[in-house]
Amino acid sequence: MGIKVVYLDMPCRVKGFVLGNDDGTHTIFINAKLNFEQQVKVYNHELQHIKHNDIERDDVDALELVRHGI
């Protein structure tokens, strides 16, 4: 499983997200403004989305509510 991690300055309300790439790999984007512990938490959160194949789902907002209680 190929995963690239990119750290970007994003609005504070955005902690991170994951995108599937055309070659079957994934890129996890993490807010660079977060501290290390928060970045690790976001990475693990996005990794779970990859493992559960959530990238293919259209109902991302509903998925976050149900799976993560967000």
Q: Would you kindly state where each structural domain of the chain is located, as residue ranges?
A: 3-68
Q: Is 5 exposed, middle or buried (0-12, 13-18, 19+ CB in 10 A)?
A: middle
pLDDT of 66: 56
Q: How many CA atoms lie within 13 A of 34 on its CB side?
A: 20
SS (H, E, C) 13-59: CCCEEEEECCCCCEEEEEECCCCHHHHHHHHHHHHHHHHCCHHHCCC
What are the pLDDT digits (tens) for 31-61?
A: 999 999 999 999 999 999 999 888 776 555 5
pLDDT of 55: 76
Confidence of residue 19 (pLDDT cuts 50, 70, 90): very high
Q: What is the pTM of this model?
A: 0.80
